């Protein structure tokens, strides 16, 4: 989810759609949710597709990561047209969450990756490079899912998908230094 353009945007990881929840006058009813079919470069595959959504640095459009292919896409929210972001041949597999810090999106990677990749993108979010892969042993087998910034730290919640949820199951977030 990302707030942009007077609303909150959500991806559908099993349906090739984008949802906009307008937030101008409080939380609206279900009939106000806008569904936008996604076209263009994006092609849904088996498994989890779009996860994580953010605005690019110029705040015109949206960025989302396709978990099962490791590709990053720029989305025109008005039309639903997607364009693959040129990462110079790099991929960010198992992307589950996105966090934009200036021109640097963090892609939190769950699954077997259990890491985060720091990218640098141009203002429109059409080109970028993987600057660093952040591997922290505290993420191993813990299913990192998203990220939030506070001061000089990036906080990454650990969903622990492989652990059966019990009333005593512990969940936590880890902090890594902001890059």
Q: From first to last of the 179 residues of the chain, give the pLDDT tens digit.
A: 555 567 899 998 999 999 999 887 777 888 899 999 999 999 999 999 999 999 999 999 999 999 999 999 999 999 999 999 999 999 999 999 999 999 999 999 997 788 999 999 999 999 999 999 999 999 988 999 999 999 999 999 999 988 899 999 999 999 999 99
Per-residue model confidence as pLDDT tens digits over 88-112: 999 999 999 999 999 999 999 997 7
**pTM of the predicted model as reported, rounded to 2 decimal places:** 0.91
Note the residue count of the chain. Answer: 179
């Amino acid at each position: 989810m990302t707030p942009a353009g007077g609303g909150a945007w959500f991806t559908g990881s099993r349906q090739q759609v984008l949802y906009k929840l307008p937030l101008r006058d409080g939380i609206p009813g279900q009939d106000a949710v806008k569904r936008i079919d996604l076209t263009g470069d994006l092609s849904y595959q088996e498994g989890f597709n779009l996860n994580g959504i953010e605005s690019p640095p110029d705040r015109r459009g949206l960025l989302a990561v396709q978990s099962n292919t490791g590709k990053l896409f720029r989305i025109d929210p008005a039309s639903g047209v997607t364009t693959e972001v040129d990462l110079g041949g790099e991929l960010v597999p198992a992307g589950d969450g996105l966090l934009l810090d200036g021109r640097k999106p963090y892609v939190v990677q769950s699954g077997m990756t259990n890491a985060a990749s720091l990218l640098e993108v141009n203002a429109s979010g059409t080109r970028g490079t993987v600057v660093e892969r952040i591997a922290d042993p505290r993420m191993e087998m813990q299913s990192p899912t998203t990220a939030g910034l506070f001061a000089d730290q990036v906080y990454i919640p650990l969903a622990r998908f492989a652990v059966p949820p019990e009333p005593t199951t512990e969940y936590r977030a880890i902090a890594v230094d902001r890059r």
